Structure 1
Amino acid sequence: MALSDLAQVLGGANKVAYATSLQDVPNLRIVNFVWDETTPGILYFASVRDSQGVQEFLASKRIAFSTVPETGNAHVASNHATGQKSQRTLAQMQAQFLAQVPGFDHVLELIGAKLALYEIQMTSAEVDLGLGNGIKQLKF
């Protein structure tokens, strides 16, 4: 599958729901994300660095996720992902967040100093192109 299908679906979303499970206690969080085509197997999100959600994210060995489409039902999902603090900084990705996430400038004004950048790294994903358009598997 061409990365253009992945780019098309990810371009129609700016939220991802990710699931963790620690000691058989599942949790689901929804965060804004950006995608950089130079690192196609990674979704980036910013979060408060010492929050409970981040601690659960970093402690989980595996992450499952699904993007949340703005319209329609095309999405990318995987249960073959891991999470980590990003090697990149929020400052390096700030322009992408401002361009792709509505209202992110307000988030930066309110809590920008408390934010850090995190990654969801997927080894494979299911790309659902929307109702009647097919589902494709992608490996990274």
Structure 2
Amino acid sequence: MNILEVFKRLMGEHKEIALATCREGKPNVRVVNFFYDESKEGVLYFASFADNEKVEEFAQNNNVAFTTIPYEGNAHIRVKDAKVEKSKETIYDVKEGFIKKIPDYAMTIEQVGAYLVLFEIHFTEAEVTVDFEQSGSIVFNKL
């Protein structure tokens, strides 16, 4: 089993993450769509409206954690120590990746793309669980 290949497959198949933030010492979790660009190791993209509660939470504390949400089986990816930041790119810069993964996202971008802010989650390590017996970790070399 090649953990890196499983990681790439799951990041391509899974459409949502449960994103955990913290506000005033209290955890908060929500589900968001995401896109992972394999050419940018350890960077995951998602979009949000600028006035969303999570954006305010990022400003207070940019430490986050997430897990991908499997639709069947137990295979998933979990990241415990990550940082979120507003991207220098826009949703339009990465729209093809989102639309390839989630075709209905084309309508979202068309209708409200001008109001969406693109965020990046940066991480250096990910835990990959294949099933109850097979798992492993990926470590990305960040310069």
Q: Could you tell me the TM-score, scaled by structure 1's length?
A: 0.90
For structure 1, the 5+ residue unaligned runs are none
Give the Å deviation of 1:22.
1.9
Alignment of 1:44-55 (within 5 A): 44-55=45-56
Runs of 4+ in 1 over 6 A off after TM superposition: none
Question: Could you report, residue by residue, the CA deviation over 1:1-45 in whole angstroms, capped at 9, with x for unpaired residues?
Answer: 653221111122010111111211211111000011011201100
**Letter of the 1:32 counterpart:** N
Q: Distance in 1 between matches of 2:76 and 2:90?
A: 26
**Letter of the 2:125 counterpart:** S
Which shifted more, 52-61 or 15-24?
52-61
Q: Is the 8 A contact 1:33 1:101 kept in 2?
A: no
Which shifted more, 121-130 or 103-112?
103-112
Which shifted more, 78-87 or 56-65?
56-65
Number of residue pairs the alignment of both structures matches? 139
Q: Distance in 2 between matches of 1:75 and 1:57?
A: 24
Q: Is the 8 A contact 1:22 1:60 kept in 2?
A: yes
For structure 2, the 5+ residue unaligned runs are none
SS at 1:70 equivalent: coil
RMSD of aligned Cα (Å): 1.6
Alignment of 1:1-140 (within 5 A): 3-132=4-133, 134-140=134-140
Q: Could you tell me the TM-score, scaled by structure 2's length?
A: 0.88
Give the Å deviation of 1:86.
1.2
